């Protein structure tokens, strides 16, 4: 957007704000102004005062000398200008390649004509208009990063915020900046929480003051100007509400992200929403993110080491990690089996040759295998994994290694997984990034990701699974007959090759291969998936993790094997029941990145989970 375009867009915004202010003035403080006229395009009720304001916006842009797209709360998405008005889908329009220069709009306007409608009707002076102006990109969808100009006017008290990308933010023509508060106990916090969110309650309880004004656009702007120190909306704000205020806050020097600290770059659409966490500075923002995600960290003083013992790469790499931790003043304990392998390798006369061969085979970690210190008595610092008493366990291997380790360790022990397998959904850190990640963890820059587990009950015995339980016959290609109950209600009776009961963690494992959905680990549910069912109507179920699932075998003479996380096998006979419920003990994984789950899924599955270098297989 060049200077001329910015002036055209700014003049249109000034005119819109002035005319909307005049148009709604007779409706402010009048109960009849709140009469619900229809449902808006965003799925929320539309009041009379909203209609009055939006019609003024549309008329101005319709009669403007340039073409524009508009995304607005009530009417949705339109193409306006030069006397025309046409309903469109912005996503579809931006993908078109058949428009000549005369037909191409110059701007995308994102407008909430009256934010804080209830306040306006009750004459509470916290309501106003929000307008963001974005570039029209070539050959791609528009996102929040395309927003160049932002304007917010509080009709209740006359305050006027405006910002230009890369140039700054102003309130009533004076440049503004956020406050410098860094302690949660001293902050003024605004926003909207969600019932049942204990982490949000903790944030609210710790704040010095809590404000709920009922206007997202104004409250984010108040963070920009230092009136608030922070703002959250855990319900999910509409993009049209935050497009202008996001730019205003960022240009003032503040921070605004999603719940996980990821920058907001949502597509521009009437239907798009996002959770918002806004703060005056990085220090306070990190505290908020940690609190909302239950990321309180503890000092890591003692570290347990568990690793694959079937490959030299893992054993050598564990030796390097042990030396690194000891050098950094941490106490180390090693799983007994790994300690024996390290001792054997240390005493092997061909050790140098083994190291060089490993480095050639795995060039990505070759520099990390230089100068390994083997002058350590591994046996002296070893013990059985059941007896680990440590602040964190480092697990080297694939997801299978991690599943084996967590099933044997005390459940409260957080796990730092180093991926030396193939996919590595659970063992998130790749080997080459291990030491930079460990450095951050030892500094306390990490968070604990909570994962639920299953308790499996059969014939007065209890077992546990973090990923899934698979029920199948001992012989291939033989079907079983299942009755499936949830909280005592029969939901399905099915003949199938087998059945999977999976946690969200396991949804990206066998459950996914069997046609089940990918489920965010934060979802409180379990997945029930028949394997190759005989009945076409037998589909996967997602049920609450507060429910008890019962699976009964209905076919005489058939013995089923149920397997927990691919580690432990047990048998069940005709009419025996296998019960599943949520464990009261969760698994905690150490994370150093707030990379969101869906991006990780996309990264891991982009090539079928197999590294291009076949040596990883």
Report pLDDT digits (tens) over 450-491: 899 999 999 989 999 999 999 998 777 688 999 999 999 999
504 and 414 in a single domain? The answer is no
Report pLDDT digits (tens) over 493-539: 999 999 999 999 999 888 998 999 999 888 899 999 999 998 888 89
Whether residue 399 lies in the annotated active site: yes
| Residue 248 resides in a domain | no
CATH number of the domain within which 551 lies: 2.60.200.30
CATH number of the domain within which 258 lies: 3.40.190.80
414 and 546 in a single domain? The answer is no
In this structure, how many other beta carbons lie within 10 angstroms of the beta carbon of residue 487?
12
Rounded CA-CA distance 193/212 in Å is 10
339 and 200 in a single domain? The answer is no
486 and 422 in a single domain? The answer is no
- Please give the pLDDT value at position 611: 43
Q: Report the share of the chain in percent with pLDDT over 70.
A: 94
| Residue 297 resides in a domain | no
Beta bridge partners of 374: none
223 and 143 in a single domain? The answer is no
Closest CA to 554 of 454, 486, 471: 471
CATH number of the domain within which 57 lies: 3.30.540.10
Report pLDDT digits (tens) over 286-296: 888 888 877 66
The band of 604, judged by pLDDT with boundaries at 50, 70 and 90, is: low
528 and 603 in a single domain? The answer is no
479 and 562 in a single domain? The answer is yes
Place of tokens 């005062």: 49
| Residue 158 resides in a domain | yes
Report the predicted TM-score, pTM, of the whole model to 2 decimal places: 0.61
- Tell me the Cα Rg of the chain: 29
pLDDT at 603 over 90: no
311 and 280 in a single domain? The answer is no
Largest CA-CA distance found in the chain, in angstroms, rounded: 92
| Residue 53 resides in a domain | yes
| Residue 348 resides in a domain | yes
- Please give the pLDDT value at position 545: 93
Domain count, the chain: 4
Pull the structure tokens for residue 291. Answer: 């609190």
CATH number of the domain within which 405 lies: 3.40.50.10330
143 and 286 in a single domain? The answer is no
Q: Write phi, then psi, for 408 (nearest 5 degrees).
A: -105, -20
9 and 135 in a single domain? The answer is yes
Please say whether the beta carbons of 178 and 226 come within 8 A: yes
Report pLDDT digits (tens) over 311-327: 899 999 999 999 999 99
Pull the structure tokens for residue 301. Answer: 């003083």
| Residue 367 resides in a domain | yes
Q: What is the DSSP letter of 104?
A: S
Pull the structure tokens for residue 410. Answer: 């005390």
Start-to-end CA span in the chain (Å):
49
- Please give the pLDDT value at position 65: 94
Strands (E), 135-216: 147-154, 160-164, 168-171, 174-175, 188-192, 209-211
CA separation, residue 377 to residues 78, 239, 305, 615 (Å) = 73, 59, 14, 31
535 and 425 in a single domain? The answer is no
Pull the structure tokens for residue 193. Answer: 């929480």
Rounded CA-CA distance 89/110 in Å is 14
| Residue 17 resides in a domain | yes
As a whole number, the mean pLDDT across the chain is 89
Pull the structure tokens for residue 579. Answer: 């019960």
Catalytic residue among 399, 497, 545, 565: 399
| Residue 85 resides in a domain | yes
**DSSP 3-state helix, strand, coil percentages of the chain (rounded to 5)?**
30, 30, 35
355 and 435 in a single domain? The answer is yes
- Please give the pLDDT value at position 609: 45
| Enclosing domain of residue 286 | 185-240+253-292
Rounded CA-CA distance 206/200 in Å is 10
- Please give the pLDDT value at position 596: 56
Report pLDDT digits (tens) over 566-602: 988 999 998 899 999 999 999 999 988 766 566 667 7
């Amino acid at each position: 957007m060049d200077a001329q375009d910015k002036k055209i867009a700014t003049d249109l915004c000034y005119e819109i704000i002035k005319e909307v202010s005049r148009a709604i003035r007779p409706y402010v403080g009048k109960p009849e102004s709140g009469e619900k006229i229809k449902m808006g395009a965003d799925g929320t009720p539309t009041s009379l005062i909203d209609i009055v304001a939006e019609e003024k916006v549309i008329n101005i842009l319709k009669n403007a000398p340039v073409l524009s797209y508009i995304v607005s709360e009530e009417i949705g998405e339109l193409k306006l200008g030069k006397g025309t008005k046409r309903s469109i889908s912005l996503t579809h329009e931006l993908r078109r390649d058949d428009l000549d220069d005369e037909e191409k709009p110059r701007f995308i306007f994102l407008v909430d004509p009256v934010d804080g409608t209830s306040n306006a009707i009750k004459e509470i002076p916290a309501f106003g208009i929000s307008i963001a102006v974005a570039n029209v990109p070539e050959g791609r969808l528009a996102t929040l990063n395309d927003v160049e100009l932002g304007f917010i006017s509080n009709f209740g008290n006359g305050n006027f915020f405006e910002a230009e990308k890369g140039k700054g933010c102003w309130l009533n023509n004076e440049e503004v900046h956020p406050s410098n508060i860094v302690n949660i106990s001293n902050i003024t916090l605004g926003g909207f929480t969600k019932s049942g969110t204990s982490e949000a309650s903790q944030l609210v309880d710790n704040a010095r003051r809590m404000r709920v004004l009922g206007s997202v656009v104004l409250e984010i702007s108040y963070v920009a100007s230092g009136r608030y120190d922070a703002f959250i909306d855990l319900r999910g704000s509409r993009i049209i509400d935050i497009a202008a205020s996001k730019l205003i806050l960022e240009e003032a020097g503040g921070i605004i992200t999603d719940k996980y600290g990821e920058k907001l770059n949502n597509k521009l659409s009437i239907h798009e929403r996002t959770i918002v966490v806004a703060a005056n500075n990085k220090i306070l923002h990190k505290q908020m993110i940690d609190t909302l995600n239950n990321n309180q960290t503890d000092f890591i003083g003692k570290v347990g080491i568990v690793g694959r013992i079937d490959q030299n790469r893992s054993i050598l790499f564990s030796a390097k990690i042990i030396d690194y931790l000891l050098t950094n003043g941490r106490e180390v304990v090693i799983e007994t089996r790994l300690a024996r392998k390290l001792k054997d390798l240390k005493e092997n006369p061909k050790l140098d040759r083994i190291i060089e061969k490993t480095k050639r085979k795995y060039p990505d970690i070759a520099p990390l295998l230089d100068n390994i210190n083997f002058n350590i008595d591994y046996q002296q610092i070893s013990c059985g994994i059941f007896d680990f008493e440590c602040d964190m366990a480092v697990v080297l291997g694939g997801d299978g290694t991690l599943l084996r380790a967590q099933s044997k360790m005390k459940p409260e022990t957080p796990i730092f997984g180093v991926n030396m397998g193939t996919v590595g959904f659970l063992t998130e850190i790749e080997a080459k990034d291990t030491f930079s990640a460990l450095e951050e963890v030892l500094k306390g820059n990490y968070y604990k990701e909570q994962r639920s587990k299953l308790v499996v009950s059969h014939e007065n015995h209890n077992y546990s699974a973090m990923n899934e339980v698979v029920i199948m016959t001992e012989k291939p290609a033989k079907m079983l007959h299942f009755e499936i109950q949830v909280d005592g209600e029969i939901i399905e009776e099915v003949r199938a090759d087998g059945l999977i009961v999976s946690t969200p963690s396991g949804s990206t494992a066998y459950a996914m291969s069997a046609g089940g959905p990918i489920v965010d680990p934060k979802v409180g549910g379990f997945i029930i998936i028949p394997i190759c069912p005989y009945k076409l109507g037998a589909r996967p179920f997602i049920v609450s993790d507060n429910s008890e699932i019962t699976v009964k075998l209905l076919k005489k003479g058939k013995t089923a094997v149920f397997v927990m996380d691919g580690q432990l096998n047990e048998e069940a006979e005709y009419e025996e029941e296998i019960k599943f419920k949520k464990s009261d003990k969760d698994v905690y994984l150490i994370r150093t990145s707030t990379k969101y789950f869906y991006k990780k899924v996309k990264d891991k599955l982009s090539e079928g989970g197999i590294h291009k270098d076949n040596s990883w297989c």
